[in-house]
Amino acid sequence: MKAGSNLERLLRSGQFTITAEFVPPATGDRGLIERQARYFKGHVDAVNVADNMGAVVGTASWAVSRALLDLGLEPIMSLVTRDRNRIALQSDLLGASLLGIRNVFCTTGEHQKFGDHPEALNVYDIDSVQLVNAVRGLSGSGKLLGGAVCDKAGPFFVGAAANPFGDPADFMILRLGQKVRAGADFIQSQPVFDPEKFGHWVRLAREEGLIEKCFILATVMPLRSAREARAIHEKRRGVEISQDIMTRLEGVPEPEQAREGLRICAEQMQALKEMKGVQGVHIMSAGREEVIPELIKESGLETARARD
Amino acid sequence: MIIAERKPIKELLEMLVGHDHVLLVGCKGCVTVCNAGGVREVGVLASALRIARRRQGRPIGIDEMTLDRQCEPEFISWLEEPLREKGYTAVMSAACSVGPQYIAERFDRVAVMPALNTKFIGGTLEHGVWAEFCRACGNCGIHNFGGLCPITRCSKGLLHGPCAGSSGSKCEVRPEVDCIWHLIYQRMKNLGQIEKLKALKPAKDWSGYWSGGVRRVVREDLTL
Ligand code: SF4
Ligand code: SF4
């Protein structure tokens, strides 16, 4: 055990793990965070707390992570490199350690052009690989990127993103290798709508010897409607929705499409559980946390997890 | 070269409110090459401003002059005589922003206005189209990336590869441009240097960039 988080314990013990994403609204109201948290409590093993997701201002991920801890939930604090330089990021990591946060998830973050402050200046002082490396330095040897030694922080269980469907395709395993070598303990993928392509990526990762070095969680996303599916397919780069899924959604009347989307997602969760090399699923509900309990029930995975 | 483009006439007219006798100064350097501030552009701009002001019922006198370069104090000194003799209340500089700053430093009783927006260090893609190639980070490392610059040409300045938004070889932030990581990957493959891309790159040293205050280059062998 490295960081001793519940997430780490579950993954190391070989249990299939479920995480879900929480996109904090912009609020100073603790009550609101608490109300939304009830959709996670008792249903998932850990909660990713987004860091200004989509470059839209939300409440600080460290603060929301602490609030979740108070509610008996296990947070995975996200950090994006878009908004803060290495000084601020490392400072936040030390603060997170102080607050008892043990899981962190490192990404670069969406460009501010897509958010609610498109005129903002971005930072991108370091990239996600370098951030993973910074977390490892800080929590392993207590070393800051600049070389100075600090009191050890964490230790943290470190996550990073991977895009199995990325372009150019053969670059993607190389990217995974970079993140693992930089110190990533677990990986959460881009949304999977094509299990076959995803399976291929996992096989390549195994051949490269990367599966033994990190835990892979496959991201799933319940679709609300055929229209939403088409919009995601067309607009969200890096996410492709297969024709099979599209046909299934279009095959039912519009009011029932959300239900069908949930069913498709639940089936995918079952299929991913059977996939060798996959240790869990990560639910991206795009702001619809209320569907999480039902989705997990539908998937039948509920009983597989250690519950409190 | 430095790429610049002319500010909208409306904005220039607002700057000129209260002035009725100005000197419009072009530059024969970069801004001539990118068709923003050479002799020809100065001529066109001067007439456009004169016509607009006449229409407003407040005619303006605009004289034209184009210096060999505005980023050299020596050429700026050529303005001394006309400024002394003709009593201009303002100089509008159609150069990159070094020009108007030099003019402002040299002549403390004349208003100075930029006619151009200085955009970036770039090159010509095709006639009338320019793109950025370098952010002048002060410490060039493009040999690590097949000779292409991810700091400038990746919208996020990533050093380890493409972000999740890269698809169809275009950048998600600016779909009209290539995702530079596709070009880098292809180049590295052709060069047989994929191993180099696997290596972890340390956090970049930005001290030679904007973060370090005014940058200077001193060539001892050339100083007098
Ligand atoms: S590495 Fe720096 S100096 Fe070299 S092209 Fe890129 S921005 Fe310019
Ligand atoms: S799509 Fe490519 S160029 Fe654009 S931000 Fe992502 S990696 Fe950089």
The span from the CA of A214 to the CA of A208, in Å, is: 12
Pairing of strands B2-6, B116-126: antiparallel
Whether chain A has a CB inside 8 Å of the CB on B156: the answer is: yes
Report the DSSP beta bridge partners of residue B66.
B26
Q: A44 is written with which tokens? A: 């998932």
- Interface confidence (ipTM) of the complex: 0.93
% of chain B surpassing 70 pLDDT: 100
Query: Which is the closest atom of ligand 2 to the Cα of B173?
Result: 4
Q: Cα torsion for B169, B173, B177, B178, to the nearest 10°?
A: -30
d(CA B142, CA B135) in angstroms, rounded, equals 12
Q: Nearest Cβ partner of A108 from B156, B185, B194?
A: B156
Would you call B172 and A237 a contact, using CB atoms and an 8 Å cutoff?
yes
Spatial separation of the C-alpha atoms in residues A233 and A242, rounded to whole Å: 9
B147 touches chain A (CB under 8 A): no
- Alpha-carbon distance A32 to A39, whole Å? 12
String of b and e for A150-170 (b: at least 16 CB within 10 Å)?
A: eeebbbbbbbbbbbbbbbbee
Ligand 2 centroid to Cα of residue A107, in Å, is 14
Task: Say how many C-beta atoms besides its own lie within 10 A of residue A250's C-beta.
Answer: 16
**Per-residue confidence (pLDDT) for residue A247, from 0 to 100:** 94
pLDDT value of residue A117: 97
Predicted pLDDT of residue A234: 86
Would you call A127 and B173 a contact, using CB atoms and an 8 Å cutoff?
A: no
Reported confidence tier of residue A285, pLDDT bands at 50, 70, 90: very high
Structure-block tokens of residue A145: 């990127």
Residue A249: partners with Cβ closer than 8 Å, 6 or more residues away: A223, A225, A226, A229, A257, A260, A261, A264
A80: left (phi > 0), else alpha (psi -120 to 50), else beta? beta
Per the document, the length of chain A is 308
Verify whether ligand 2 is closer than 6 Å to residue B180 (CB atom). Answer: yes
> What confidence tier does B213 reach under pLDDT thresholds 50, 70, 90?
confident
Give the tens place of pLDDT for each residue, A84-107. Answer: 999 999 999 999 999 999 999 999
C-alpha pair distances (Å), B210 with each of A58, A142, A274, B149, B167: 29, 29, 51, 17, 31
Mean pLDDT lowest among A26-30, A257-261, B12-16, B164-168: B164-168
Determine whether the interchain pair A238/B165 forms a contact, defined as Cβ–Cβ distance below 8 Å. yes
Residue of A125 and A286 predicted with greater confidence:
A125
Q: What is the token pair recorded at A198?
A: 């995803």
Confidence band, pLDDT 50/70/90 cuts, at residue A305: low
Which positions ≥6 away from A3 have C-beta within 8 Å? A102, A103, A139, A154, A155, A156, A157
**Residues 6+ positions from A199 with CB-CB distance below 8 Å:** A275
Distance B156 CA to ligand 2 centre (A): 6
- C-alpha–C-alpha distance, residues A66 and A96, integer Å: 8
Closest CA to B157 of B124, B181, B185: B181
Ligand 1 pocket, residue B148 CB under 6 Å: no
Residue A43 has pLDDT above 60, yes or no: yes
Q: Give the rounded percent of residues in chain A with a pLDDT score beyond 90.
A: 88
A104-126: b (≥16 Cβ within 10 Å) or e:
bbbbbbbbbeebeeeeeebbbbb
CA A161 → CA A17, A117, A214, A219, distances in Å? Answer: 16, 24, 12, 10
Q: Please, which pLDDT band fits residue B224 given cuts at 50, 70 and 90? A: confident
Residue A303 has pLDDT above 70, yes or no: no
Q: What is the pLDDT of residues B42-89, one digit of tens each?
A: 999 999 999 999 999 999 999 999 999 999 999 999 999 999 999 999
Whether the pLDDT of residue A235 is over 90: the answer is no
pLDDT tier at A287 (50, 70, 90 boundaries)? confident
Helical pair A257-274 and A195-207, crossing angle rounded to 10 deg: 20
Is the shortest distance between the CB of B66 and ligand 1 below 6 Å? no
From the CA of A123, how far away is ligand 2's center (Å)? 15
The Cα–Cα gap between B41 and B7 comes to 12
Residues A122-151: tens digit of each pLDDT? 999 999 999 999 999 999 889 999 999 998
Q: Letter for the amino acid at A292?
A: I
Identify from A114, A124, A176, A232 which residue to disrupt to test chain B contact, counting B C-beta atoms within 10 A and taking the largest count. A124
Interface test with A, best of B171, B198, B200, B206 (most A CBs within 10 A): B200
Structure token digits, residue A261: 């989307």
Report residue A241 as tokens: 């929705």
Count CB pairs under 8 A between chains A and B.
89
- Mean pLDDT across B13-31: 98
Quick one: how far is CA A302 from the chain centroid?
19
Burial class of residue B4 (count of CB atoms within 10 Å of its CB; 0-12, 13-18, 19+)? buried
Ligand nearest to the CA of B156: 2
Residues from chain A that touch B172, judged by Cβ atoms under 8 A, are: 111, 237-238
SS3 state of residue A19: strand
Ligand 1 pocket check: which of B152, B153, B159, B217 to mutate, most ligand atoms within 8 Å of Cβ? B152
Q: How far is the CA of A143 from the centre of ligand 1 (A)?
A: 29
Q: Is the CA virtual torsion A65, A66, A71, A72 positive or negative? A: positive
Residue A307 in this model has a pLDDT that exceeds 70: no
Closest CA to A32 of A85, A74, A2, A71: A71
Would you say residue A304 has pLDDT above 70?
A: no
- Kindly identify which residue of chain B lies nearest to residue A180, measuring between CA atoms: B200
Which chain B residues have a beta carbon less than 8 Å from that of A82?
A: 156
Check: CB of residue B25 under 8 Å from CB of residue B65. Answer: yes
8-state DSSP, B29: S
The mean of the pLDDT values for chain B is: 96
Mean pLDDT taken over chain A: 94
Task: Inspect the interface and report whether the beta carbons of B160 and A128 lie closer than 8 Å.
Answer: yes
Q: Which of B144, B148, B149 maximizes ligand 1 atoms within 8 Å of its Cβ, making it the mutation to test the pocket?
A: B149
| Ligand 1 pocket: which of B132, B133, B134 to mutate (most atoms within 8 A of CB) | B134
Cα gap B21→B46, rounded to integer Å: 12
Residue A302, pLDDT > 90, answer no
What percentage of chain A carries pLDDT values higher than 70?
A: 98
C-alpha distances out from residue B2 to A266, B37, B69, Å: 55, 12, 13
Cα dihedral A125, A127, A133, A135 sign: positive
